[in-house]
Amino acid sequence: MDALTLNIIIFAISAVSTIVFGSYLAKYGDVLASITGLGRIFVGSILVALATSLPELSANISAVLLDPPNPALALGDILGSNMVNMLIFGSIALIFGGKTVIDQISSSQIYLASLSIFMTIVVLLVALINFSYSFFNVGLSSLIIIIFYIVGLRFTYTLKPDEESEDEEVEISAKKAWIYFILISVGVIFSGYFLAYSVDNISHETGVASSTLGIIVSSIVTSMPEASAFFASVRLKAADLGIAGLFGSCVFNVTIIFYTDIFYVGNIVKEFENAHIIATITGLLLISLAGLAVYLKSKARRLVINSVLSSIVIVYALGIILITT
């Protein structure tokens, strides 16, 4: 068996693993929302978003620890994942009726959408300005990203109205739900490591640019937990949990630049390529369209909302064409 075939097999096994783990993350995330009383938006945007972003975190840190380091793959995976997250939202919402899914989503989600837009703009600006200063081996750009994340998250939850608590019967204890949630999250981390390993090797074997593979291939796979979680949440009629997970994941993903920079020798933001800039701008447009769909929930007819959701799919496709050409 040649090396390329072996890495494709590892890639496939890792992809299937992330799909399975992602579906269970949604299940136990919804259980925790009911048991703890924290609400689907909070649990989705913090717990589920963090857990489903673990493949990106694991894959990116693994990418810069490779010999030689592969920052182009790391950045491509982060930025491409945000594009894929919005593609997941638009396509799955359309499959389940478009406006039917949007009607299940709380208007409070517009706050998370706004935070996602804000953080993407921050990343775009620091990438274009390209600060050369570093502190303790962490670039100033990465520090700016994490500071704005902390401030923005606090500001968002201060403005967001409280959720109405939902009394639902659950057949599992809080302790078991937390244990299962943590164990599944660990499984996601291992899947992320082998994804980075296999994609990096496939890049070397095929000669395809790491930035392109990161944005298109790696990002799709590391976003499979988000896809599985959102799909499962829509089927459970808990779309609030799912969309909060997607917006929350977009926010958390950009902070991975900071965490990755800690392990990277140098300033990782200085490694931005044209493909990464295009991916950032495309992600910004996609998140804005998703936020618009939520905002129009009670203000527009089915045709208008479904058109906005369809635009998400079209913009993603156009972005990929620009990146590959």
Q: Where are the domains of the chain?
A: 3-324
Contact (CB, 8 A) for 32 and 177: yes
Total-model pTM: 0.82
Mean pLDDT, residues 168-179: 74
Which structure tokens are listed for 118? 């804000």
What is the percent of the chain where pLDDT is above 90?
25
Mean pLDDT, residues 22-42: 66
Identify the band that residue 201 occupies on the pLDDT scale cut at 50, 70 and 90: confident
Question: Would the pLDDT of 125 be above 80?
Answer: yes
Name residue 203's amino acid. Answer: S
pLDDT digits (tens, 9 = 90+) for 281-309: 999 999 999 999 999 988 888 899 999 99
- Say how far apart CA 146 and CA 256 lie, in whole Å: 9
Residues 6+ apart with CB under 8 A from 284: 117, 120, 121, 124
Contact (CB, 8 A) for 267 and 311: no
pLDDT at 312: 96
Contact (CB, 8 A) for 72 and 271: yes
Question: Angle at CA 118, nearest 5°, toward 114 and 123?
Answer: 150
What is the percent of the chain where pLDDT is above 70?
88
For residue 308, the surrounding DSSP H or E stretch is helix 302-324
